[in-house]
Amino acid sequence: MTDVLDRLCAASEAHYSNPYASLTWPDTVDLDSWFTSPELVSVHGTAIWLQLGPPERRRLSFWEAVNFFSVNIWGERTLIAGLADRLYAPGLEDLSPYLHHMLDEENKHSIHFGRFCTQYAGKVYPDRTVRLGPDPAEAADFLFFARVLIFEEVVDRLNVAMARDPRLVPVARWINRNHHLEETRHLAFGRSVVKRLFDDGRRRWSAQLISDIRAHLADYLTATWKQLYNPAVYRDAGLPEPFLLAASAYANPAARLRRAALSARCVRFLLRSGILLEEPQP
Amino acid sequence: MTRPVADQAARAAVRRWVLERNPDLPADRLRDDTPLLRDRLVTSVQVLDLLLLVESLRDAPIDPADLTAGSFADVDTIARVFLGVGR
């Protein structure tokens, strides 16, 4: 793993950037534009999508982008807190040089996400996740890095698709592209550290704990996706019955297929590494 | 005293949601004071789903800043805290 860490640290140093100078932000954005690829809008393929005209679809794509970036802000806040907790922690000392880079880069991503949300929408959607208690101490590091990996894998697939989409306004496309470029390194780090911690941990964890871990991570993948079906988005876009719509959009077969396709790389890693034994259905 | 229909319907919807996620749990073992979190009938990652169900039932958003683990302790608490009904 030392080679991986050295390579990733060198790449982060070579790509060190000033988050305030890396993008020229337009004062305003035209809401009659695409901010989320239409095929990735959460209600795409549902009856309500067919009822919307092009301007309504584009306006919805704006609020979907605000939610996507908000979800990233809250995910990165959790990530930053967990990384800071683990700097030079016993047993993880060798990771610390790269943890410094991740902390720096994740903070910069949140600056971009936060500026988009506050400048163009005037708000960040609140975090809808609730933690009910701490992780089991003997698996806390593994669970932290595994959740981070799952979250980053999911958002990265969306980043990649939208970075390539010429229909998106330049500022939305740039944020997706920049996030993907740095997340590529974080994902390489995440896969290495998650595999190492799982291989170490499974030798001493009870069968019950391993079973609980598997159930938790499968649930976490689902919960990550569910954050992208936010009733507040539908309300802001003027859609009726936003709470029912969130549930029905999530259950829509087209959405299920989309989630499965975009989760495939993450699921493949979790199955190959033995972390999951069955394919989850997010 | 008989509870209002809306109260009963809301409680039934929450109980149904819990039972769907715990197929091994017999319906008659789930009471309105059964500890959902302590008995691990609801996990932290499922709370997002439960939140959406409760928002649907009351047809109004819940400020996530108001949420604590205790808010989802059991069906009685959910009904009282979020749905404004119950004992």
Reported as a single tens digit per residue, the pLDDT across A34-60 is: 999 999 999 999 999 999 999 999 999
Is B5's pLDDT higher than 60? no
Q: Where are the beta strands (DSSP E) in chain A?
A: none
Q: Please answer whether residues A144 and A78 qualify as being in contact, where contact means their C-beta atoms are separated by less than 8 angstroms.
A: no
Alpha-carbon gap: B87 to the closest alpha carbon of chain A (Å) = 25
Local confidence band at B87 (pLDDT 50, 70, 90 cut-offs): very low
Residue written as token pair 């290495």: A192
Q: What is the 3-state secondary structure (H, E, C) of B1-63?
A: CCCCHHHHHHHHHHHHHHHHHCCCCCHHHCCCCCCCCCCCCCCHHHHHHHHHHHHHHHCCCCC
Alpha-carbon gap: B69 to the closest alpha carbon of chain A (Å) = 5
Query: pLDDT value at position B34?
Result: 96
How much is the average pLDDT of B18-22?
94
Closest to B65 (Cβ–Cβ): which among A126, A231, A243?
A126
**Dihedral pair phi/psi, residue A168, rounded to 5°:** -75, 150
Q: Please provide the average confidence, as pLDDT, over all residues in chain B.
A: 86
Query: pLDDT value at position B44?
Result: 78
Query: pLDDT value at position A202?
Result: 96
Q: Please answer whether residues A28 and A158 qualify as being in contact, where contact means their C-beta atoms are separated by less than 8 angstroms.
A: no
Distance from C-alpha of A255 to C-alpha of A241, rounded to nearest angstrom:
19
pLDDT tens figures, A191-244: 999 999 999 999 999 999 999 999 999 999 999 999 999 999 999 999 999 998
Please answer yes or no on whether A220 and B45 come within 8 Å at the CB atom.
Answer: yes
The low-confidence residues of chain A, meaning pLDDT below 70, are: none
Query: pLDDT value at position A120?
Result: 98
Query: pLDDT value at position B4?
Result: 55
Number of H helices, E strands in chain B: 3, 0
Q: Which residue of A has its CA nearest to B48?
A: A129
Q: What is the ipTM of this complex?
A: 0.80
Alpha-carbon gap: A22 to the closest alpha carbon of chain B (Å) = 33
Of chain B, the percentage scoring pLDDT greater than 70 comes to 90
Query: pLDDT value at position B1?
Result: 45
Contacts of A215 in chain B (CB under 8 A): 43
Is B46's pLDDT higher than 70? yes
pTM score of the predicted model: 0.92
Query: pLDDT value at position A109?
Result: 93
Distance from C-alpha of A224 to C-alpha of A242, rounded to nearest angstrom:
19
Query: pLDDT value at position B85?
Result: 65
∠ CA A244-A250-A253, nearest 5°, is: 120
